[in-house]
Structure 1
Amino acid sequence: MNYKAIIFDLDNTLLNYSASELKSMQQTVQTHGLIHHESFTWDSFWIHYSKINMYYWNERNKSGHNIYQILELSFQDTLKELRLDHSDSKLLANLYWDTFCNACDFEEHATDILSHLHGKYNLAIISNGIGQAQRCRLAVGKIEHYFDALVISDEVGYWKPDKEIFAEALKRLNIHHSEALFVGDSLNDDYFGALNAGIDFCYYNRMSNPIDTSIRPKFMIDSLNKISDFLASQ
């Protein structure tokens, strides 16, 4: 297959979302001074916050909450559960978001593969993220110039695995679905989204997790630099 475009997921595919989230939160509680409260413990805070934030994030489309509301509610409920003062929840939310939007941690080999592919293929991103953060982080990492299209869920109104967000990317790139390869780390969002859209899928199995035999990506890698080997074999 002669692909014309390589489309990437962003978080935990090109950028290490987990690392940026953790470091941004550690910086937030340190800058705010929350970490110095006598009853504050990082491990307890992070366990509670992660669970609560995931709930609000997963419910965002039903609730209609924007990212600032999601974060404020996440801080508020976490601090309440820990019996800490939650009056600064909005301040903490804003501080965290500003810190996170200026964080850019790359997955290993991400910049190398983008540099290698740039000029040979059209490059694009499809992300179930927030446009403000994704665009800022690409700018901080100085890689935004590699991409011919950025299709971000909160800007277009579709979320992976909905095939419509993939259709939007194909439209912007002016290519047929058979001419694109999509690279992502999520089987639920990325694999099934690409499958719904009829696009070949490369599973970036960054944690080398076992997968069900019913899952059949075009190919699977545990390192981004292996994309070049696959494309050269086509």
Structure 2
Amino acid sequence: MYKAILFDLDNTLLDYDFSEQDSMKRTIEHHRQELADFQWDLFRSTFGPINWTYWIERVQRNLTIGEVLHYSFRDTLEQLGHDHAISPRLAQTYWTLFCSTCHLMEGADELLGKLHGSYRMGIISNGIGEAQRGRLKKGMLDHYFDHLFISDEVGFYKPHREIFDTAVRTLGVDHSEVLFVGDSLQDDYHGAAGAGIDFCYYNPLAKPLGQSHRPAYMIHSLSELIHMDTHNQWIKRTAP
């Protein structure tokens, strides 16, 4: 029987993709007069890969989130032939908006309300503390969680087991008494498996599992987790 349930945050409980796009569109609109002949689709397709490269290199290069965003906007505007002097202002506007934007995955609020009080609950996220805490507060979800384990605050990143061990130790339970729910096979599944924690794969797009992936559970909607809890269906299985 589980005593604690840990969740990934982005694209598990919070809709990161929609929140990012919403914040970005409002950023561009806010600075519209400074961006002549701006084309949204071209900007998005150019910004995405540049931003991802800076994001994955941020730890190795010791970059702050402000630098990641500034450099991403700068390189994108330069590549598209725009004046990149505006990039620091774009970065600041975007970050302010994103940290206060919360769009939930379908069923997230109902799920947390059902589980709250029955389990110790926490978040394990590779995000930035300011954003993750701000978005949870904006969505009025922060009170559901006993602890937040955010990589830039804890000093460890999924899939390294240290962040999972820190969470288990802080919650005061055994590894066998914890269920971790997430949407990433790379960060979430391998991290939980490496730490000896049961993993529930949230897979709304029904992506096929690789032969090496054997999560204890797989769900396609968060409401399935409510059903499993309500009917005490915590029997280890790998869903088809």
1:180/1:168 Cα in 2 relative to 1: closer, same or farther (>3 Å)? Answer: same
Does residue 17 in structure 1 map to residue 16 in structure 2? yes
Displacement of 1:213: 2.6
1:193 counterpart residue number: 191
2:174 counterpart residue number: 176
- RMSD value, Cα: 1.0
Paired amino acid for 1:27 = R
1:117 counterpart residue number: 115
- C-alpha separation in 1, matches of 2:160 and 2:99: 26
TM-score norm. by structure 2 comes to 0.95
Work out which of the residue numbers 79, 82, 85 in structure 2 matches 1:81.
79
1:221 counterpart residue number: 219
1:93 counterpart residue number: 91
Displacement of 1:34: 5.8
Does the CA contact (< 8 Å) of 1:161 and 1:190 recur in 2?
A: yes
2:5 counterpart residue number: 6
Per-residue CA shift, 1:145-175, capped at 9, x if unaligned? 0000100000011000000000111111011
- C-alpha separation in 1, matches of 2:74 and 2:3: 47
Q: What percentage of residue pairs aligned between the two structures are identical?
A: 50
Paired amino acid for 2:225 = I
Secondary structure in 2 matching 1:225: helix
Secondary structure in 2 matching 1:29: helix
- C-alpha separation in 2, matches of 1:213 and 1:222: 19
Does the CA contact (< 8 Å) of 2:128 and 2:150 recur in 1?
A: yes
Secondary structure in 2 matching 1:43: helix
Per-residue CA shift, 1:114-145, capped at 9, x if unaligned? 00000111110000000000000010001100
TM-score norm. by structure 1 comes to 0.97
2:233 counterpart residue number: 233
- C-alpha separation in 2, matches of 1:233 and 1:152: 30
Paired amino acid for 1:66 = T
- C-alpha separation in 2, matches of 1:114 and 1:34: 42
2:237 counterpart residue number: none
List gaps (5 residues or longer) in structure 2. 235-240
Return structure 1 stretches of 4+ with deviation > 3 angstroms: none
Displacement of 1:206: 2.1
1:30-179 aligned at under 5 Å gives the runs 30-33=29-32, 37-38=36-37, 40-179=38-177
- C-alpha separation in 2, matches of 1:206 and 1:31: 33
How many residues are paired up? 232
List gaps (5 residues or longer) in structure 1. none
Does the CA contact (< 8 Å) of 2:35 and 2:82 recur in 1?
A: no
